[in-house]
Structure 1
Amino acid sequence: MIDPKSIKLPGLLQDWYGSPEAPSSHLSNDLAWLPEPLREWHELSSQWAKPLMTVKRMLPPESITLQDGKAVFMDDPGDAEWAFAPDSPLDVYEGTLYEGWEKCAESLPEFLVHNALFEAGYNATSRRYCYEVPEDLLPQLLTPMTEVAFGGWRWPSPGHRIFMGEGLVANMGPTQEDSAPFGGKPGYADIQIGSTDPTLLSYLDDIPDLNSVKAGLLG
């Protein structure tokens, strides 16, 4: 497995989005109360014109406020939210608008790397998605990649994993059943693979059994 600490955000972002296009925008002193890793993320991501978040949304630093002991710094189009507490700024809490908070298994620095890698896969110029992939096909789909040993998060459901290789990143999670109780479908997984170069995805065309899998090409 790949140690998340070996993945540095500046290099990761340059690999996926190219060289910085502008100088870093430094946050004002009024935002010094925000955790240092979060401030660094905003200053670093400001160097690219293209949004680096498409699936979830990072709140603008000036919009982050403290409510009931938690400061929400990220959300998704649904009702999921992520927050920190000023008395434990490197801890990440996962929650929703309708449920309580649960401490994430990842610290804030690891969480930000995990999130950046996840978003890079969906921001990629070339993408493939495969639904209901039988477990015995997974090794072939993931051959060029190695799993990153992230602590894991609950969103969008438990059991999601992420893999990366040269110019490739795969987000994999359990296939969800189509009817109640909408749990995981045993023996199957959904995979989305993003790449910086469409030719790096050509190995998927050499997996004949994928013809019987719900698969598609994006980008």
Structure 2
Amino acid sequence: MINPSDIDSSDLLGRWRGPARLPAVPPADFPLHLPLPLRKWYGLTSCWPEVRSAGTNVYEPSRVRTGVDRVAFMEDSTGDWVWAFDPDQPDIVYEGESTRALRRSPEDLAELLVHATVRSVILLSGSGRLGAQVPDEALPQILDPLECVDFGGWRWPRPGYRIHVANNLMAEVGPAVDPQAPWLNRAGYSAVRIAGLHDSDLDYLDSFPMVTWIDMGLGV
């Protein structure tokens, strides 16, 4: 297992997104009422702003409203699921459906922001594939070049997702959707979205004929 704290988000973004496109904004330039890990993350992603809205949407600093018990700072693409910090204990994160009571996340704020960064990079990759129905018996070989990151885990989009990384590969793995009942998991299958630094890094996936891979690379 890789400790999330061992992932250098700045190095990760530089290698996977290329040179910074915009000048960095110092963390001190963001509202001081925001938790320090969040201000540092805003400073980092000011160089690659697309990372803030890939898959999940981290609010712009002006949208992070304090004065409430749970301060929302990130949501899914539809706004149905939110993540919030506790202003009195800002390292503690809560998550859940936006219309219901939120539950404490197993990830603290710093870990969650690393998780969000890695996931955004996977979704933004110019070289990516999706296997929506991967037989579980094929998983060990598919994931053999990668190592699992010991994230606490989100309950969105459904429990059971995990992240695997290597120098030139990253993958998000979770339960496959049951085609006959999309609200259920399909037993014996997983969904795998895998990104490579280059197209050639994904060539080894062609040796798994039992998996139908969909090209998800953005070509950027």
> TM (normalized to structure 2)?
0.91
CA drift at 1:48: 2.6
2: distance between equivalents of 1:195 and 1:151? 24
Identify the residue that residue 74 of structure 1 maps to in structure 2: 74
Q: Which of 19-28 and 198-207 deviates more?
A: 19-28
Question: Could you give the per-residue CA deviations for residues 93-147 of structure 1, whole angstroms, max 9, x where no partner exists?
Answer: 1022221111100111111111110111010001100011111000121121111
Q: Is the 8 A contact 1:52 1:123 kept in 2?
A: no
Aligned-pair RMSD on alpha carbons?
A: 1.8
Identify the residue that residue 196 of structure 1 maps to in structure 2: 197
Instruction: Tell whether 2:53 aligns with 1:24.
Output: no
CA drift at 1:52: 4.8
CA drift at 1:198: 0.5
CA drift at 1:169: 0.7
Q: Is the 8 A contact 2:51 2:121 kept in 1?
A: no
1: distance between equivalents of 2:30 and 2:23? 20
2: distance between equivalents of 1:180 and 1:208? 25
Query: Which residue identity lines up with residue 194 of structure 1 in the other structure?
Result: A
Give the gaps of 5 or more residues in structure 1: none
2: distance between equivalents of 1:161 and 1:67? 33
Give the gaps of 5 or more residues in structure 2: none
Query: Which residue identity lines up with residue 216 of structure 2 in the other structure?
Result: L
Q: Is the 8 A contact 1:126 1:218 kept in 2?
A: yes
2: distance between equivalents of 1:158 and 1:38? 24
Identify the residue that residue 114 of structure 1 maps to in structure 2: 115
Instruction: Tell whether 2:6 aligns with 1:6.
Output: yes
Query: Which residue identity lines up with residue 33 of structure 2 in the other structure?
Result: W
Classify the secondary structure of the residue corresponding to 1:132: strand
Identify the residue that residue 143 of structure 1 maps to in structure 2: 144
2: distance between equivalents of 1:209 and 1:98? 41
CA drift at 1:50: 4.3
2: distance between equivalents of 1:50 and 1:65? 22
Query: Which residue identity lines up with residue 134 of structure 2 in the other structure?
Result: V
CA drift at 1:175: 1.0
Residues 148, 30 of structure 1: CA spacing in aligned structure 2 closer, same or farther, 3 A cutoff?
A: closer
Residues 80, 67 of structure 1: CA spacing in aligned structure 2 closer, same or farther, 3 A cutoff?
A: farther
* Number of corresponding residues: 216
Query: Which residue identity lines up with residue 92 of structure 1 in the other structure?
Result: V
2: distance between equivalents of 1:24 and 1:49? 10
Identify the residue that residue 35 of structure 1 maps to in structure 2: 35
CA drift at 1:7: 0.4
1: distance between equivalents of 2:63 and 2:182? 37
> TM (normalized to structure 1)?
0.92
CA drift at 1:181: 7.7
Residues 56, 131 of structure 1: CA spacing in aligned structure 2 closer, same or farther, 3 A cutoff?
A: same
Query: Which residue identity lines up with residue 75 of structure 1 in the other structure?
Result: E
Residues 11, 28 of structure 1: CA spacing in aligned structure 2 closer, same or farther, 3 A cutoff?
A: closer
Identity, in percent, stands at: 35
Classify the secondary structure of the residue corresponding to 1:105: coil
CA drift at 1:70: 1.2
2: distance between equivalents of 1:52 and 1:181? 28
CA drift at 1:51: 4.5
Question: Could you give the per-residue CA deviations for residues 144-181 of structure 1, whole angstroms, max 9, x where no partner exists?
Answer: 11111111110100000110112211001011223458
